[in-house]
């Protein structure tokens, strides 16, 4: 039988979602917790991957087991897992349902704090002295919906068959000192959101024009795009099936 897990996590203490040698990952922690409960090796499959330091307010994963799960499995897992990982729900799905391949879209938010706030240091990138032009940034962000190839914003050394993504929304919202970038797509490339945010900030700070931003997309060259902003401001917020 196949079960889906809905969870959230603070990525500060983890080298991303995916298991890797000599580094602590979210996936490893959940695998270990499930294996401890059932006294057998259980491996979960995530809906995607988040990089080192990136957070998730909603993530899904699936696992297979040959019996019905305990009614209090969520409680058992949460009692084993560290406090920065939280299991929200576990539910039975069809055997063919796949957490990664059946996901229709994924949404991210990137949070910037304009000024200093010691209570948000782990969950936003703080810009102390500059005030970006949000109107210009939103005009540039609209252009993302007109393109499919986002190689300009992809990590250079990445093993993918295509750089094509279908971006369905991309916009900034400012509320007082909180500036949040929202973006949704069917898939994302490694480092893509953080590179887009860094380049849009260059537009907002008038280091480059909206026309320049368009040329950067069309160049398909990562070296033409802006910096990759810090991971701590990035949240995976929603996965739709």
Q: Pick from 177, 223, 228: which is nearest to 53 by CA?
A: 228
For residue 51, indicate whether it is catalytic: yes
The residues with which 5 forms a beta bridge, in sequence order, are: 61, 90
Report the DSSP pairing between strands 85-93 and 167-175: unpaired
Q: Is 156 exposed, middle or buried (0-12, 13-18, 19+ CB in 10 A)?
A: exposed
Quick check: 233 and 111 in contact, CB under 8 A? yes
**What is the Cα–Cα distance from 117 to 121, expressed in whole angstroms?**
7
Specify whether the CB–CB gap between 171 and 241 falls below 8 A.
Answer: no
Nearest alpha carbon to residue 232 among 13, 2, 3: 13
Instruction: Classify each residue of 123-150 as buried b or exposed e, where b means 16 or more C-beta atoms within 10 Å of its C-beta.
Output: bbbbbeeeebebebbbebbebbeeeeeb
Q: How is 77-138 classified by DSSP, letter by letter?
A: HHHHS-TTEEEEEEEEE-TT--TTTT--EEEEEEEEEES--GGGTTTSEEESS----HHHHH
- 41, 51, 202, 212: the active-site residue: 51
Task: Round to whole Å and give the CA distance between 184 and 91.
Answer: 25
Would you please indicate which residues are annotated as catalytic (active-site) residues? Answer: 51
């Amino acid at each position: 039988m196949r079960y889906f897990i809905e969870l959230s996590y603070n990525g500060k203490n983890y080298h991303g979602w995916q298991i890797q040698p000599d580094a602590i990952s979210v996936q490893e922690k959940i695998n270990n917790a499930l294996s401890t409960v059932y006294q057998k090796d259980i491996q979960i499959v995530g809906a995607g991957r988040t990089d080192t330091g990136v957070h998730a307010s909603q993530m899904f994963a699936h696992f297979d087991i040959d019996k019905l799960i305990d009614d209090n499995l969520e409680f058992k897992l949460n009692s084993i897992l560290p406090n920065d990982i939280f299991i929200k729900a576990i539910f039975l799905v069809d055997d063919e349902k796949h957490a990664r391949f059946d996901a229709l879209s994924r949404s991210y938010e990137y949070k910037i704090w304009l000024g200093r706030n010691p209570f948000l240091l782990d969950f936003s990138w703080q810009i102390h002295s500059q005030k970006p032009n949000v109107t210009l940034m939103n005009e540039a962000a609209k252009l993302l919906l007109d393109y499919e190839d986002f190689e300009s914003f992809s990590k250079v050394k990445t093993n993918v068959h295509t750089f094509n993504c279908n971006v369905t929304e991309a916009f900034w919202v400012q509320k007082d000192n909180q500036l949040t970038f929202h973006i949704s797509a069917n898939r994302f490339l490694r480092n893509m959101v953080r590179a887009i945010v860094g380049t849009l900030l260059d537009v907002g700070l008038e280091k480059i024009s909206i026309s320049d931003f368009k040329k950067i997309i069309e160049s398909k060259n990562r070296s033409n795009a802006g910096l990759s902003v810090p991971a701590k401001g990035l949240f995976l917020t929603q996965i739709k099936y």
